[in-house]
Amino acid sequence: MRFRFELIAAAVYPIAGLLSTAAIAAASRQAAPPGSFAEMLDLRSVCRLKPWRTLQASGYDRGGGYFDSGNFLRIESNNHYVLMEADGPGCIDRMWFTYKSQIGGEPYDLLIFLDDRSRPVIEVDLDEIFTGSHHPFITPLAGLCGDSKYPGRYSYVPIAFQEFCKVVLVPMAPKEQYKYRLNSFGRQIPHIYYQITYRKFQPDTSVKRFAWDPSQSESEALAKVRSLWSNCGRSPWGDIAQVRQSTVKTVLNPGARDSLFELDGPAVIYEIQLRVDKPEGIWVEMLWDGSKNPQVSAPIGPFFACADSGRPSQDVAGLWTGFADGAYYCYLPMPFRRKAKIAVRSEAKTSASIEAKIRYRLEEVLNSDAVFCTHRYDYPSPPLGRDYCVADLKGAGQFVGLVMDRPGHMEGDDSFFIDGEKQPSIHGTGTEDYFNFAWGLSHTGTLALHGITIQGNSPICYRMDIPWAVPFRDSLLITWEHGHNANEVPNLDTKRYSGVAFYYRSDYN
């Protein structure tokens, strides 16, 4: 039953946020240099199709086993552990490490060679670079999360290179000071875990190589990124000119579907806020450009990185999606050309009161602007003996994020098969590792692009890969292990697994 519907088509509203109208307009006209801090501010480009490839180097067990630590690309002379090597142009966008140190610690030097193969551009103690004290590796772009004794170490500082990149770890203490174990091949390996996610640009791409002392413009961009990521929960869009607002209040009865928003385009939705008194069993749906089937269909909770059972027990302060001040929010840009429809439907046994606020702007939509989509997966019991499927996508597009409202077993390697490849371009080392945490899913934190919260005694995990994304031209298959230990084969855990994958695609079918 609809109480009130108000569509304000003439008045304009500023979105209270952190970026200026001029900054957003400029970013819309011309893409920022790839691998720069300015690129991290180019929020409008999030929905635009990407020309690069995204890959990952990690320590996953090459024998298919449980031993996902200490497996390097190779070990060079002087005990140099080579983790990653790539030709340019490209950019490292994410680094993650963890280890369980013995008494006295396990000191490593991190060496990153960029273009010059003879001398590293970055040479720093591995632990020191994640303290937030080494500019430009400052919080919250780099830091620690999870267990305070054995944390996950993460960095989203872009490390661009034009011709060549190599990442090396060098142990700086006697061998007996480090933990070792035997891998699937019976070889002794260090007990250190790592993931390095990077892009390879098209050959004619020009990038500016990483420097410890960024230019003035890059330093200013870094400061803006830091401010943006430190104020999550607020709109990141700034005071966009000509923004319009639609509001609606409704009571959604059991089994019903109510429209929250309908508009002819072209336009871009920049903000969705929902207040729901009883969210359990309520789904959000979005249809673009007259499609018969919704491109977005997900339970309200998981769509906003929350549980699907009841109101969130705490705020979830992600940059793009979350829950704050009693409202669910999503700031992902959603362009459409002809028509948009946003609705809610009920699978609940009781009525729910819903208040929606949607902000949008009538504007040009480019050919490169893709359509926002989600995929909801839910396995009451995943298939025994094989990975379960998180998403199996066809066509062209880019994966941008994942929420797991039932992540299941922490021992679950992720695999991203891009465009039909036989071996995954991205192979992870564990569920909590994917979300930048370490040593289990009980450790919590809510950060700009990743987090784990405990809601209803269960972990809810989220990670957004924006603005970098994982592009695909023909297809993307994402699979996940469910359980793996030293005494059993993988994929024997039978708990319920569920989540929501976020992506953009170029067509509407």
Report phi then psi at 491, rounded to 5: 65, 45
Q: Are 261 and 341 in contact (CB under 8 A)?
A: yes
The rounded distance, in Å, linking the Cα atoms of 82 and 73 is 6
Residues 6+ apart with CB under 8 A from 186: none
Nearest Cα to 268, choosing from 371, 353, 115? 371
Please check the confidence at residue 16 and state whether its pLDDT lies above 90.
no
Rg (CA), the chain: 23
Question: 27: part of which helix (H) or strand (E)?
Answer: helix 21-29
Confidence band, pLDDT 50/70/90 cuts, at residue 176: confident
Rounded to two decimals, what is the model's pTM?
Answer: 0.93
The rounded distance, in Å, linking the Cα atoms of 231 and 318 is 9
The token pair at 339 is 């028509």
Please check the confidence at residue 259 and state whether its pLDDT lies above 60.
yes
Q: Write out pLDDT tens, residues 203-243.
A: 999 999 999 999 999 999 999 999 999 999 999 998 788 99
Query: What size, in residues, is the chain?
Result: 509
User: Domains in the chain, start-ordered, CATH in brackets?
Assistant: 1-19+231-369 (2.60.120.1390), 67-205+217-227 (2.60.120)
Comparison of pLDDT for 9 and 492, the residue scoring more: 492
The rounded distance, in Å, linking the Cα atoms of 257 and 126 is 53
**Alpha-helical runs (H) found in 353-397:** none
The rounded distance, in Å, linking the Cα atoms of 195 and 59 is 7
365-35-461 Cα angle (round to 5): 80
Q: Are 492 and 386 in contact (CB under 8 A)?
A: no
Q: How many CB atoms lie within 10 A of CB 104?
A: 11
Mean pLDDT, the chain, integer: 91
Four-residue CA torsion sign, 91, 96, 493, 190: positive
The pLDDT > 70 percentage for the chain reads: 93
At residue 103, the pLDDT reads: 67
Name the one residue in this structure whose structure tokens are 């009980």.
442
Q: Write out pLDDT tens, residues 3-15.
A: 333 333 334 444 4
